[in-house]
Structure 1
Amino acid sequence: MANLASTYSNQGRWKEAEGLEVRVIETRKRVLGKEHPDTLTSMNNLTFTLKSESRHEEAVSLMKTCFELRKRIIGPHHPDTESSHKALNE
């Protein structure tokens, strides 16, 4: 599902991508836990879809959460954490 969501996103099919990304996050939270790095990656992906849909406030709010969790879980210098920080600043 995550790969298909990514494909939809790359094609500009934002609503379809968003729907799948939300399902992926929900599934990963249930199976892996809400703080698992894979769950956080899915959260990160959804922020870019929201941004593409011009839903900037939602995207920033979700990215803040993602960044803070990544900083705590995988560390402030991990490439994924740094990527989230960069996206948040942009």
Structure 2
Amino acid sequence: MGEYSKALEFYEESLKIREISLPTNHPDLATSYNNISTTYYAIGEYSKALSYLERSLSIKQKSLPSTHPHIKSVMN
């Protein structure tokens, strides 16, 4: 499993800090959700990965223009 469990711990801790210090629609929160999603995907937990990816996309759609490359990258 490599260091995925350790990565998840760090990503989740980072997310907690960002949730406290940033507004709910801040793009950095989307980055945290995306990082967690990518890690879950890598270990085959696809439903969890999708859940975090959807949260990431939701924030990006609210905080960035629809033509922004970060939104397009999630949609592909």
Q: TM-score, normalised by structure 2?
A: 0.88
Post-superposition Cα deviations, 1:8-51, rounded to whole Å, max 9, x if no partner, equal xxxx4100000000010110110112321111111111100010
Structure having greater relative contact order (Cα 8 Å, sep ≥ 6): 2
Q: Identity, % of aligned pairs?
A: 23
Deviation at 1:65, TM superposition (A): 1.9
Size of the alignment, in residue pairs? 75
Which of 38, 42, 48 lines up with 2:32 in the alignment?
A: 42
Confirm or deny: 8 A CA contact 1:50 1:58 kept in the other structure: yes
Structure 2 gaps of 5+ residues are: none
State the alpha-carbon separation in 1 of the partners of residues 30 and 4 from structure 2: 19
**Aligned amino acid, residue 32 of structure 1:** L
Which of 62, 70, 76 lines up with 1:72 in the alignment?
A: 62
State the alpha-carbon separation in 1 of the partners of residues 8 and 24 from structure 2: 18
Structure 1 runs (4+) deviating above 4 angstroms are none
1:67 alignment partner, SS class: helix
Q: TM-score, normalised by structure 1?
A: 0.76
State the alpha-carbon separation in 2 of the partners of residues 13 and 54 from structure 1: 14
Tell me the residue number matched to 1:33.
23
